[in-house]
């Protein structure tokens, strides 16, 4: 049985990936870690350790103690937060990745680190952005993600570390809120729709961005990590796509189910600039061909599911 370590398990992806991986590999085989003490949640049915991912020795000690085979490094300051403090974003995002790569090399672990649509920039082709193309990100988050992709490939070629990654679109989920991302509006809109029937959107009405529903995102992590390495031409990092929409389109989808729902705009200039610098939609042909990626959720099904879960959570 595989022994897995999740670094940054308290965040939006980690809180659900922990449960998902424990369901597949066994609760005792998935060690969740976070800077904050999440024993009450992530420590309920499996091991949890407080870990600062910037502390390389502490990370190595957990990997050695639990005899870890695969690390999922999810630590990151997201795009909008990163612009408030670029030095801190570089320190945290690259520090956690660097430590994960080194520990993976020393202890012969596989390593998954998400990249993002944010690794692309305004000079990348906008529509159906290809797997291999111009990448000149203009945010510190994107610079970290693109550098991380290069480092992942370097550790694979130079040291044989089994590094793998996907470029995540904005992830929409109903368990843990994202924080500090440009795509966060696409989660917040559902909560506000249920809570008060209206939403003020910080992203312009007509800007397309790629999005993915959490169940597809979780499945992508496992399917890529379980893929036959002989079939992988790419590694760091695969475009994956599922749905692409604008604020106007998601608003219309909500109005179909809640005719009284209203949305206005208070555009955040930082989020606007970031959103406009990213692709409208990605071409995920390589992921489909090399490891069989196929999304299962579209905007309509996801909207039904999000509303059902959030209404239940809020007793509405």
Calpha distance 138→6 (Å, rounded): 29
User: Please, what is the Cα angle at 30 between 312 and 39, to 5 degrees?
Assistant: 60
Closest to ligand AKB by CB, 43 or 204: 204
Nearest residue to ligand AKB by CB is 181
Q: How many CA atoms lie within 13 A of 248 on its CB side?
A: 5
Continuous segment of H or E residues that includes residue 231: none
Closest to 9 in 3D by CA, of 69, 49, 67: 49
Out of 181, 202, 279, 295, name the contact with ligand AKB by CB under 6 A.
181
User: Active-site positions?
Assistant: 141
Contact present, 21 and 4 (Cβ < 8 Å): yes
Closest to ligand AKB by CB, 78 or 221: 78
State yes or no: residue 279 binds ligand AKB (CB under 6 A). no
Out of 4, 70, 117, 241, name the contact with ligand AKB by CB under 6 A.
117
State the residue for tokens 């599911």: 305
Contact present, 222 and 240 (Cβ < 8 Å): no
Out of 7, 75, 78, 109, name the contact with ligand AKB by CB under 6 A.
78
Closest to ligand AKB by CB, 11 or 47: 11
State yes or no: residue 79 binds ligand AKB (CB under 6 A). yes
State yes or no: residue 250 binds ligand AKB (CB under 6 A). no
Minimum CB–partner distance for residue 246 and ligand AKB (Å): 15
State yes or no: residue 118 binds ligand AKB (CB under 6 A). yes
Calpha distance 205→201 (Å, rounded): 8
Binding span for ligand AKB by CB under 6 A among 35-43, 49-57, 179-187, 235-243: 179-187
Closest to ligand AKB by CB, 8 or 170: 170
- Who contacts 120 (Cβ-Cβ below 8 Å, separation ≥6)? 129, 133, 135, 137, 142, 277, 278, 279
List of residues contacting ligand AKB (CB under 6 A) = 78-79, 116-118, 141, 168, 170, 178, 181-183
């Amino acid at each position: 049985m595989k022994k897995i370590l999740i670094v940054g398990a308290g965040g939006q992806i980690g809180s659900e990936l922990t449960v998902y991986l424990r369901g597949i590999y066994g609760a005792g085989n998935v060690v969740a870690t976070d800077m904050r003490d999440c024993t009450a949640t992530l420590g309920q049915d499996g091991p949890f350790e407080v870990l600062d991912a910037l502390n390389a020795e502490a990370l190595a000690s957990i990997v050695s103690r639990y005899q870890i085979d695969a690390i999922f490094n999810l630590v990151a300051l997201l795009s909008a937060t990163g612009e408030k403090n670029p030095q801190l974003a570089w320190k945290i995002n690259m520090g956690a990745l660097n430590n994960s790569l080194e520990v993976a090399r020393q202890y012969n672990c596989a390593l998954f680190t998400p990249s993002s649509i944010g690794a692309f920039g305004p000079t990348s082709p906008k529509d159906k952005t290809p797997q291999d193309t111009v990448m000149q990100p203009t945010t510190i988050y994107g610079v970290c993600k693109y550098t991380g992709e290069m480092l992942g490939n370097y550790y694979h070629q130079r040291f044989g570390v089994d590094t793998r990654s996907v470029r995540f679109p904005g992830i929409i989920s109903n368990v843990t809120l994202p924080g500090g991302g440009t795509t966060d509006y696409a989660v917040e809109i559902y909560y506000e729709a249920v809570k008060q029937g209206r939403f003020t959107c910080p992203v312009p009405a007509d800007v397309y961005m790629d999005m993915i529903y959490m169940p597809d995102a979780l499945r992508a992590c496992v399917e890529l990590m379980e893929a036959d390495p002989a079939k992988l031409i790419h590694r760091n990092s695969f475009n994956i796509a599922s749905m692409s929409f604008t604020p106007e389109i998601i608003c219309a989808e909500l109005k179909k189910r809640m005719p009284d729902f209203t949305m206005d705009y208070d555009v955040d200039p930082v989020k606007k600039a970031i959103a406009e610098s990213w692709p409208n939609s990605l071409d995920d042909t390589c992921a489909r061909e090399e490891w069989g990626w196929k999304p299962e959720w579209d905007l309509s099904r996801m909207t039904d599911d999000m509303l059902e879960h959030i209404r239940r959570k809020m007793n509405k």
